Amino acid sequence: MTDGNGVVSTGSTHRGVTEGDLPAQLLTELREITTRYPQARSALLPMLHLVQSYEGRVTARGIEACADLLGITAAEVSGVATFYTMYKRRPVGDYHVGVCTNTLCAVMGGDAIFERLKDHLDVGNDETTEDGKVTLEHVECNAACDYAPVVMVNWEFMDNQTPESATRLVDDLREGREVRSTRGPRICTWREAERVLAGFPDDLADEGPAGGPASLLGLQIARERGWRAPGDDTRGADTRAAQRSGVDAQTSMGRAPAEKHLEESGADTAGEDAGGKKEDS
Ligand code: FES
């Protein structure tokens, strides 16, 4: 049953548990996700992201809806939702700001950034500012250690941050100024990002830069020194294929995408240390 606001009353589930009112579109899209997998219950993780995109958190009625659609218990859904830290049981602000305080980021300044932001925003860990704009959380390594210290906004990278740049970042977010990831697209809201994680693309995936010099430095050094992974004869195959076709194996035809990117970006690592930072910065 749908009311004038597009809200559907699902009534009692097969377990006699009331889901409450969920947007009809949410239920439609939850069902759609279940059809993407050979085993329907494999859909649970993206389904929970979709619940968060509509509800702002994993709600009890969202848990009941997932359980009902997958034919599993609410306790099983709840067990997953409380295991993974990306699922939130309390409302998240418009922007989730995660400060990496894992080892490398911590020693490079992540701890100082986190302390500065707690003071500046007047919130503790996993708390949201009074205006509902920013939720601050310290997060574990995001595999971006070559750009430490890293701050994530809705899981987009903000590389090589300082307490000062991170403060400007959250101010820009709260004031509604456009913010772009240092290695990704413009920052959308947390709910919009959750929808993408549920498998509904926003077509921003190719916006902004991807790999940067710090990540590609190892590849460049390997190429300069002729290093190759043991047992990897990919280059040999490329060379043989190129010889057969009369094409120089060193043209971009035979190169991996990352190598092409390195060349196309004109990455100049001269004067940089292994972390990709200029010596005088
Ligand atoms: S330690 Fe921060 S991204 Fe790895």
Domain of residue 140, CATH code: 3.40.30.10
- Please give the chain's pLDDT, 281 residues, in tens: 333 333 344 433 333 334 458 999 999 999 999 999 999 999 999 999 999 999 999 999 999 999 999 999 999 999 999 999 999 999 999 999 999 999 999 999 999 999 999 999 999 999 999 999 999 999 999 999 999 999 999 999 999 999 999 999 999 999 999 999 998 899 999 999 999 999 999 888 788 777 788 888 988 999 999 999 888 766 555 555 545 554 443 433 334 444 444 454 444 433 333 333 333 33
**Residue from 145, 161, 183 whose mutation best tests the ligand 1 pocket (most atoms within 8 A of CB):** 145
Provide the domain limits for residue 53. 7-81
**From the alpha carbon of 102, which atom of ligand 1 is closest?**
1
Q: Are residues 100 and 184 in the same domain?
A: yes
Q: Ligand 1 centroid to 141 CA: how many Å?
A: 4
Determine, yes or no, domain membership for 204: no
Residue in 44, 55, 47 with CA at minimum distance from that of residue 21: 55
User: Does any domain span residue 76?
Assistant: yes
What is the CA(109)–ligand 1 centre distance, in A?
Answer: 11
Shared domain for 127 and 171, answered yes or no, is yes
Of 81, 114, 131, the residue that ends a domain is 81
User: How much distance in Å is there from the Cα of 108 to the middle of ligand 1?
Assistant: 10
Global pTM value: 0.75
Question: Residue-wise over 205-241: b if at least 16 C-beta within 10 A, else e?
Answer: eeeeeeebbbbbbebeeeeeeeeeeeeeeeeeebeee
Strand order, beta sheet including 95-100: 127-128, 134-139, 95-100, 151-153, 156-158
- Flag whether 206 is in a domain: no
Place of tokens 């906004």: 153
Q: Which of 173, 188, 203 is the last residue of a domain?
A: 188
Same domain (yes/no): 105, 172: yes
In angstroms, rounded to a whole number, what is the distance separating the alpha carbons of residues 166 and 139?
Answer: 15
Q: Count structural domains, the chain.
A: 3
**Are residues 70 and 126 both part of a single domain?**
no
Q: Which atom of ligand 1 is nearest to the CA of 101?
A: 2
Calculate helix-pair angle for 60-70, 24-34, nearest 10 degrees: 40
**Does a structural domain hold residue 199?**
no
Is 148 strand, coil or helix?
A: coil
- In the reported structure, the alpha carbon of residue 104 is separated from the centroid of ligand 1 by a whole-number distance in angstroms of 6
Determine the distance separating the centroid of ligand 1 and the alpha carbon of 245, expressed in angstroms: 44
| CATH classification of the domain holding 34 | 1.10.10
- From ligand 1's centre to the CA of 45, what distance in Å? 24
Residue 45 lies in a domain: yes
Q: Which of 99, 101, 104 to mutate to test the pocket of ligand 1 (most atoms within 8 A of CB)?
A: 104
Ligand 1: list residues with CB < 6 Å: 100, 102-105, 141-142, 144-145, 148, 150
Query: Which token pair is 65?
Result: 């809806």
67 and 129 within one domain: no
Ligand 1 atom nearest residue 148's Cα: 2
Assess if residue 205 is contained within a domain. Answer: no
Residues 171 and 248 in one domain: no
Q: Spell 148-161 as b/e; 16+ CB within 10 A means b.
A: bbbbbbbbbbbbbb
Residue 281 lies in a domain: no
* 129 domain-assigned: yes
Distance, CA of 218 to chain centre: 24
Tokens of 59: 């709600």
- Which of 23, 47, 81 marks a domain boundary? 81
